[in-house]
Amino acid sequence: MPNKNNTNTDLAPLLPILYEEAVRRALLEDLGARGDITTDAIVSPEDTASARIIARERGRIAGIEIARHAFHSLDSNIRYEILRRDGDDVEAGDTLAHIQGAARPILTAERTALNFLSLLSGIATETRNIVAIVKPYAARVVCTRKTAPGLRGLEKYAVRAGGGSNHRFGLDDAVLIKDNHIVVAGGVAEAIRRARSHIGHLVKIEVEVDNLDQLEIALREKIDAVLLDNMPIQMLAEAVRIADKKAITEASGGITPENAGSIAATGVDLLSIGWITHSAAALDLALDLAFNL
């Protein structure tokens, strides 16, 4: 059950307010001022078609409702039957959704629908794969703010669909004190004190530390979490031992499928991984169409 953590696989209710605009923008980008001139020339408004969205490789699905919305933005009468929901695993050849309706809007919305679905499923799949590696351990996989500009909410959703958890959504929902902040403040303790006096009571504080000295200082200030940046495995294990439940521990920097297991084995609570969003390969999906001649 890789989704057990903080997955919300039911994006549908938020679509009308949170994500309609992203779909609309993507469709406008593809349609330009003239629309789909190929389909308009060749396909009649009366032609109908049925189609399937199929997986061409194995992976984890995310964005099936966003894809639906791309079709329905052009024609609300299209029938769109979802066979695999977000968070489901698929094999090459599996059908994700059946589509039935006017052929024109199906063809015109195809690329927009697939672009969302491939991007998000690619992220979910990368997340799932790394989550599977750390599964024997207590550690959770979390994403970062390294996301495609303008698509963060959706990409973080895909991480959840992949079984991962979310770190901060933005600069405003938690304090993360980084090395640069520490330099300005003149020290870890002072930085933490400034932050604490500034924030509301529902805001947590995490501090990035590079070594065990900084860690001990940070822990004395009773912070919520500590980001252990680029530490060798040995030091990381020692850091986790020192933190000893006094703060959530997060490993960060250079985490790969090869070393993820041994990092998780240190007992660290979180593995923070940027590439599950910024460098995930798209999942290979296609729309197979059959005209109702």
What residues are labeled active site? 111, 146, 178, 208, 229
State the binding string over 145-184 for a second copy (x if CB under 8 A, else -): xxxxxxxxx--x--------xxxxxxxxxxxxxx-xx-xx
| Interaction between residue 24 and a second copy (CB under 8 A) | yes
Compute the distance between CA of residue 194 and CA of residue 186 in angstroms, rounded to an integer: 11
Give bridge partners of residue 176 from the DSSP assignment.
Answer: 206
CB of 265 to a second copy, least distance (A): 19
Binding mask 45-64 for a second copy (x = CB under 8 A): x-x-x---------------
Distance between CA atoms of residues 25 and 35, nearest Å: 14
Spell out the alpha helix ranges (H) of 18-63. Answer: 20-31, 37-42
Q: 194 with 223: CB under 8 angstroms?
A: no
Decide if residue 69 touches a second copy (CB under 8 A): no
What length does the chain have?
A: 293
Binding map of a second copy across residues 116-135, x = CB under 8 A, - = no contact? x-xx--x-------------
Please give the single-letter amino acid code of residue 210.
D
258 binds a second copy (CB under 8 A): no
CB of 212 to a second copy, least distance (A): 21
Select from 140-148, 229-237, 238-246, 260-268 the region that touches a second copy (CB under 8 A).
140-148
Report the site for a second copy in 82-121 (rule: CB under 8 A).
Answer: 102-105, 107-108, 111-112, 114-116, 118-119
Among 52, 132, 189, 275, binds a second copy (CB under 8 A): 275
Nearest to 132 by CA among 87, 162, 158: 162
Q: Which stretch binds a second copy (CB under 8 A): 88-96, 128-136, 256-264, 266-274?
A: 266-274
Q: Which is nearer to a second copy, 76 or 234 (CB)?
A: 76
How far apart are alpha carbons 54 and 59 in whole angstroms?
Answer: 12
Cβ atoms of residues 213 and 189 within 8 Å: no
Site for a second copy in 196-235 (CB under 8 A): 197-204, 206, 224-225
Q: How far is the CB of 242 from a second copy (least distance, A)?
A: 18
In the three-class reduction of DSSP (H, G, I as helix; E, B as strand; rest coil), residue 285 is classed as strand
Please state, in angstroms and rounded to a whole number, the distance separating the CA atoms of residues 175 and 168.
9
237 contacts a second copy (rule: CB under 8 A): no
State whether residue 141 is helix, strand or coil: strand
Give 244's DSSP letter: T
* 189 is an interface residue for a second copy by CB under 8 A: no
